[in-house]
Amino acid sequence: DVVMTQSPLSLPVTLGQPASISCRSSQSLVYSDGNTYLNWFQQRPGQSPRRLINKVSNRDSGVPDRFSGSGSGTDFTLKISRVEAEDVGVYYCMQGTHWPLTFGGGTKVEIK
Amino acid sequence: EMQLVESGGGLVQPGGSLRLSCEASGFTSSNFQMSWVRQAPGKGLEWVANINQDGTLRFYMDSVKGRFTISRDNAKNSLYLQMNSLRAEDTAVYYCARDRQCYMWGQGTMVTVSS
């Protein structure tokens, strides 16, 4: 199985400051069609997960442009340019290239 | 508005069975692969199963193979998860999600396996 390793586990951030979350996969996520199926999800307290980013860097509809994704191969990053109070929650990366699909362990973003 | 609504969760004894349902609205679910993902209390997300558009291809995580069956009824815009031989470690909120990349999620249904 592809292991997805996220860091840090916890990320205290000052409002208005940037935040960055790393996600590494144990093998390449490039699919046979040439796409890299790496997704990012946000789960606010008490809510269902919401997809923010698909295929490494494509923001989903309605996602604020302060969220951005980057990376390639096995190394990926989610960045929040200026953290707002509504960004508090747990963020997960997920690979959709190989079966079984696998998630990272999550990064908890909180306000300092 | 596109929506996924799960139902069928509850309390069941170890070794028992439950059938979860997920009804899609606001879009034609038959156009998409569908997935089940679970989250144990206080833990992270864990993919469980996936089914292709016409139901001919199914994938499962190792620990549920032979116990869980994913199916769908496209005429009813619905997805199902038949769970047999349930174990304590299957206790979780179960979410259905649209497509392999989990574009959208339902609100989840809680399954508790306990005597």
Answer yes or no: are the C-beta atoms of B80 and B22 closer than 8 Å: yes
pLDDT for the residue numbered B56: 97
Residue B2 carries which DSSP code? -
pLDDT for the residue numbered A65: 97
Tens-digit pLDDT string for chain B (115 aa): 999 999 999 999 999 999 999 999 999 999 999 999 999 999 999 999 999 999 999 999 999 999 999 999 999 999 999 999 999 999 999 999 999 999 999 999 999 999 9
Is B100 within 8 Å of A105 when comparing Cβ atoms?
A: no
User: How many other C-beta atoms lie within 10 A of the C-beta of residue A3?
Assistant: 12
Residue B96 carries which DSSP code? E
Q: What is the 3-state secondary structure (H, E, C) of chain A?
A: CCCEEEECCEEEECCCCCEEEEEEECCCCECCCCCECEEEEEECCCCCCEEEEECCCEECCCCCCCEEEEEECCEEEEEECCCCHHHCEEEEEEECCCCCCEECCCEEEEEC
Q: Name which of A51, A53, A92, A93 to mutate to probe chain B: the one with the most chain B Cβ atoms within 10 A of its Cβ.
A: A51
Is A96 within 8 Å of B104 when comparing Cβ atoms?
A: no
pLDDT for the residue numbered A76: 98
Is A41 within 8 Å of B45 when comparing Cβ atoms?
A: yes
For A32-70, the pLDDT digits (tens) are 999 999 999 999 999 999 999 999 999 999 999 999 999
pLDDT over 70 percentage in chain A: 100
**What is the Cα B30 distance to its own chain's centre?**
16
pLDDT for the residue numbered B105: 98
